[in-house]
Chain A
Amino acid sequence: MTMVAPDLLREVEQFLYHEARLLDERRFHEWIALFTEDIHYFMPTRSNRYLNDLDNELSKPGELAYFDDNLTMLRGRVARLDTGMAWAEDPPSRTIHNVNNVQIDAVEGDEIKVHCTFVIHRGRNETEQDLFIGYRDDVLRRVNGAFKIARRTIVLGQNVVSAKNLSIFF
């Protein structure tokens, strides 16, 4: 376990909470501004494997993924929500992003590797509900004094996604 200065951990946690709140309040333009130009936003697919084959549980970059976005692609998703024709998000999802178990795995120059778990509740329409639970590995980079997200890997606990879409952000 890496011991880090409490102030740094606190700063990282507050950044992640702020980001989560931007998503829950649908402030997507402020949210997309938190990413670096070289962001890789990645959610691999899973497959159900025996213990001796767990190395192949998650798809790798270059293989099939649920999200495999650079900044242009991520901006395209935000732009989609602005068209007035993004039916899967109109009426919009009501999300609560809970970010938990925040740990700093490494500090390397301007970059900080951060691990956290998440519990996201989505309510939509009258009675639709989805629960997305998993973990994230982020690389935060300090740019002009402020954190930006330079890499994000999102891993869901589900093998078969039990939602009709992944129209929200993680």
Chain B
Amino acid sequence: MGCVEAVPLAEYIGDFAYYLDLCFNRRPGGVEFVPGTHKWQMPCNWKFAADNFVGDMYHAPFSHGSALKVRADAEGLSGPAARLTQPPMMQVSAGGGHGMGVTLLDDPDGRQFPQRPALQEYLDSIRPEVEAHLDHERAYKLSTVHATLFPNFSFLGSGTVRVWQPKGPERMEIWAWVYVDRDAPENIKQTIRRQSAYNFNPSGMFEQDDGENWNQCTASSRGYIARQYPFNYQMGLGHEQAMEEYPGRRGANFAEINQRGFYQRWRELMTAG
């Protein structure tokens, strides 16, 4: 029988546990889910969505140009100033196909939610507790932006969690939730719930345009010519670095290091046995 032995969950998660904790285990109380589930289906291959969340930060300024412009206009920003609201980041390929985009807070410009002062104040207020619970680095130096735990569990640091459920090669069903720190004050929980859902769900200011991409990428991959060529995932190839201070390998923010890790793992499993 050609099958892959299942490994214990902790082993399966491996080095990525460090980053799972960064997102879901910052405070001793952990996280809880807001009641309610977003469920929808779309005509696309589920891997486009997993790929998007594992390492595709470079789509954001273009795919989400509309939502970013509305946000910048609301803050009275324009031109380069609007673009500067994106703090410095890196991509981390943690092995096992898992990957995360991480904000570098120790950079002078590294702030998580400059546009939402109450949320920023909350995040700053819990740092000493996070340091005691995890460590100094995850309290003061890193924060979660986007991630996929291989193969189909994805989340953002801003509140959305989802499972991409394949319904055949060209259809998937998404189940999505919003998580909040269990010990956060009620007003912070409500801010995270409302903002996360405003941006990420089938009506979301950001997510509407993702669905369009994934749908059209799937459709255009079917053509005779498209099927003759491999996808190009070279971005940042040759510039990956091992890190001494954190688990995993590091790539630039705009790089496909995590997608390469994801699809290499996929290939291993598809060709195993």
Contacts and interface: CB of A to CB of B under 8 A. Distances in A.
B66 A86 contact: yes
Given A64-B177, A68-B197, A166-B203, A88 B38 contact: no
A160 B39 contact: yes
A160 B209 contact: no
A163 interface: yes
Residue among B34, B35, B36, B37 facing the most chain A CB atoms (10 A cut-off): B36
Interface string B67-107: 10110011000000000000000000000000000000000
Contacts of B257: none
Contacts of B25: none
A153 interface: no
Interface string A45-80: 101000000000001101111111100110011011
A44 B203 CA distance: 12
B65 interface: yes
Contacts of B42: 163-165
B194 interface: yes
A167 interface: yes
Interface string B149-170: 0000000000000000000000
Nearest to B43: A164
Contact of A45 (B37, B43, B70, B211): B37
B172 to A, nearest CB: 10
Interface in B182-218: 190, 193-194, 197-198, 201-203, 205, 207-209, 211-215
A68 B39 contact: no
Interface size class of A (residues with CB under 8 A): 35 or more
Given A62-B190, A64-B197, A86-B209, A164 B202 contact: yes
A65 B70 contact: no
Contacts of B202: 66, 161, 163-166
A2 interface: no
Interface of A: 43-45, 47, 59-60, 62-69, 72-73, 76-77, 79-81, 83-89, 159-167
Interface of B: 34-44, 63, 65-67, 69-70, 73-74, 173, 177-178, 190, 193-194, 197-198, 201-203, 205, 207-209, 211-215
21 contacts: A63-B36, A64-B36, A64-B37, A65-B197, A68-B197, A68-B198, A69-B198, A79-B70, A80-B205, A83-B69, A84-B66, A161-B40, A161-B202, A162-B41, A163-B42, A164-B40, A165-B208, A165-B211, A166-B201, A167-B203, A167-B208
Shortest beta-carbon contacts, A-B, top 6: A64-B36, A164-B42, A85-B65, A166-B203, A59-B36, A161-B40
